[in-house]
Amino acid sequence: MSKQKIEVPKDLGFGTNASANNIRLINKDGTFNVLRKGLKFRESFTFYHFLITIPWWKFHLVAIIYFLSINLIFTFLYLNFGEHLGGMIANNSWQHFYETFFFSAQTLTTVGYGRINPIGFSTSAIAAIESLVGLFGFALITGVLYGRFSRPESKILFSKNMVLAPYKNINALMFRMANMQKSQLIETEVQVVIGYNKIVNEMPQRAFERLTLERDKINFFPLSWTVVHPIIEGSELHGMSINDLKNANAEFTVLVKAFDDTFHQQVYARYSYLQDDFIESAKFVPTYKPNNDGVIVMNFEKFDELESVELNK
């Protein structure tokens, strides 16, 4: 039975214009190397998406800035438009300020220790509005926190380099990847597409070819996985050298899809290798071996370690 030919993607979504040297389509962190210009801020910015996708340290920073800003605003309102706050212990303007500020914080969070209390209509109205703002604000933060915790993320580590190494009695293009988390990834699939410049009708054009892999799917992903493209007759890279790939500004785009058994959701990871990432006549050293207790130990310190080898003729 003849093997069914894989449908070749003509365009990954980046167009077919020839790419300049050292311009990658996908960044190392998996994001697209695209800068959007000409849009108004309200058209391109979504606050929820911003809070969901920013790193944790930025999210904590935004939350702290929000908390301090709201309290400073209401402290200003109490000091300038409020009538009186009863129970304050203040002998100077600084003590008066921080007593008001901490009363605002207690009102915003609905803690209300009771020592300081609003007196008069305007002060009570400001306190009531602040309580409402606090309820809405912390409800929003709680929802965003749930969204961040429930959003599955794949932490798949890719090798820094893609190598041309001997494989059986031929040569093959290889890279390595591993799951850095303790989450269980199953039914893991990988696709590798090469994008390169070629001349079509005397015009430079970007072409895309999906590489045929030795294995494009594994049932379990507990260890490292070396993805192999055998360079045989009929291969998209047959007859091409590393210099040919560099001259064509080749980029290898990797898409990984797996099912996360912890979240019971599909997760994805993207990566790309550019001309500076290619190494010829090298192979990856083993990263795992069993210990004395019969447990397989994965050593990530050797994940990018290579050794020189001779290519098959």
> What does pTM read for this prediction?
0.70
pLDDT at position 201, please? 73
pLDDT at position 256, please? 93
Q: Which residue ranges does the chain devote to CATH 1.10.287.70? A: 41-150
CATH tag, 156-308: 2.60.40.1400
pLDDT at position 8, please? 46
> Token match 């212990």: residue?
89
3-state secondary structure of 65: helix
CATH tag, 41-150: 1.10.287.70
pLDDT at position 1, please? 39
Which phi-psi region, left, alpha or beta, contains residue 13 (left: φ > 0; alpha: ψ -120 to 50)?
Answer: left
pLDDT at position 5, please? 46
- Could you read off the pLDDT of 30-44 as tens digits, one per residue? 677 666 676 676 666
- Angle (CA) 214-13-256 rounded to 5° is 35
Cα–Cα distance, 161 to 281 (Å, whole number): 12
Query: In the beta sheet, which residues pair with residue 257?
Result: 189, 268
Cα–Cα distance, 304 to 287 (Å, whole number): 9
Q: Which residues contact 249 (CB under 8 A, 6 or more apart)?
A: 18, 19, 20, 21, 22, 23, 196, 197, 275
pLDDT at position 39, please? 67
Question: Which residues in the chain land under pLDDT 50?
Answer: 1-8
Q: Which residues contact 117 (CB under 8 A, 6 or more apart)?
A: 85, 86, 87
DSSP 8-state symbol, 214: S
Give the helix/strand (H/E) hosting 157: strand 156-158
Q: Which residue ranges does the chain devote to CATH 2.60.40.1400? A: 156-308
Phi, psi dihedral angles at 247 (to 5 degrees): -65, -30
Give residue 130's identity as a one-letter amino acid code. Answer: E
> Token match 């008001």: residue?
100
